[in-house]
Amino acid sequence: MSERMGNPELDADARGGSPARTVAVVMVIALVLVAGLYALMDRYVPGSPRGIVSANVVQIAPRVSGTVTRVHVSDDAVVEAGDPLFSLDPRPFELAVQQAEANLTAALQTVDASGASLVAAQAAVTQARTALDNTRAEAERTFQLEERGVVPAARADDARAAVENATAQLEQAQANLESARAQLGPEGAENPTIRAATAQLEQAQYDLASATVTAPHLGVVTNVTLSEGQFIGAGSPALTFIDATAGWITVDLRENQLQKIEVGDPAHVLFDALPGRIFNGRVQSIAWGIAPGRTVQGGLVANQRSTQWFEPARTIPVRIELDGGMENWPYAVRVGGKAHAVIFTESETGPIAWLAQAAQRVRSWASYLH
Q: Which residues contact 77 (CB under 8 A, 6 or more apart)?
A: 220, 221, 224
CA-derived radius of gyration, the chain: 33
Rounded to a whole number of angstroms, the distance between the first and last alpha carbons of the chain is 65
DSSP reduced 3-state for 315: strand
Q: Which of 51, 185, 208 is nearest to 122 (CA)?
A: 208
Rounded Cα gap, residues 139 and 45, in angstroms:
37
Rounded distance, CA 32 to CA 22, Å?
A: 15
Q: Between the CA atoms of 112, 117, 122 and 123, what dihedral angle is there, to the nearest 10 degrees?
A: 130
CATH dotted code for 43-55+245-305+313-366: 2.40.30.170
Helix or strand holding residue 77 (H, E): strand 77-79
318 CB contacts (<8 Å, ≥6 apart)?
A: 250, 251, 252, 253, 258, 261, 283, 285, 286, 287, 343
C-alpha closest to that of 96 among 169, 197, 188, 185: 197
pLDDT given at position 9: 53
pLDDT along the chain (370 residues), means of 10: 50 60 85 83 90 90 94 91 93 94 81 64 85 84 73 78 88 83 58 82 92 90 89 91 88 91 93 92 91 77 71 87 83 90 90 91 87
Q: Whose CA is closest to 113, among 173, 192, 185, 175?
A: 185
Contact at 8 Å (CB) between 230 and 66? no
Tell which CATH classification among 2.40.50.100, 3.40.50.720, 3.40.50.2300, 3.30.300.30 matches the domain 62-88+212-236. Answer: 2.40.50.100
Q: CA 42, CA 254: separation in Å to the nearest integer?
A: 9
pTM of the model: 0.67
In this structure, are strands 231-232 and 84-88 parallel, antiparallel, or unpaired? unpaired
Domain ranges within the chain, ordered by starting residue: 43-55+245-305+313-366, 62-88+212-236, 90-210
> How many C-beta atoms surround the C-beta of residue 292 within 10 A?
8
162, 139 Cβ separation under 8 angstroms: yes
Q: What is the pLDDT of residue 8?
A: 54
Q: Identify the three-state secondary structure at position 242.
A: strand
- Confirm if 83 and 134 have CB atoms less than 8 A apart: no
Calpha distance 34→178 (Å, rounded)? 78
Q: Which residues contact 141 (CB under 8 A, 6 or more apart)?
A: 217, 245, 246
Structure letter (DSSP) for residue 237: -
Q: Are 48 and 264 in contact (CB under 8 A)?
A: no
Cα–Cα dist 238/232, whole Å: 8
- Buried b / exposed e across 35-66, counting CB within 10 Å, b at 16+? eeeeeebbbbbbbbeebbbbbbeeebebebeb
Q: Are 43 and 260 in contact (CB under 8 A)?
A: yes
DSSP H helices, the chain, are: 2-5, 8-14, 19-44, 91-109, 116-147, 153-182, 185-189, 192-209, 351-366
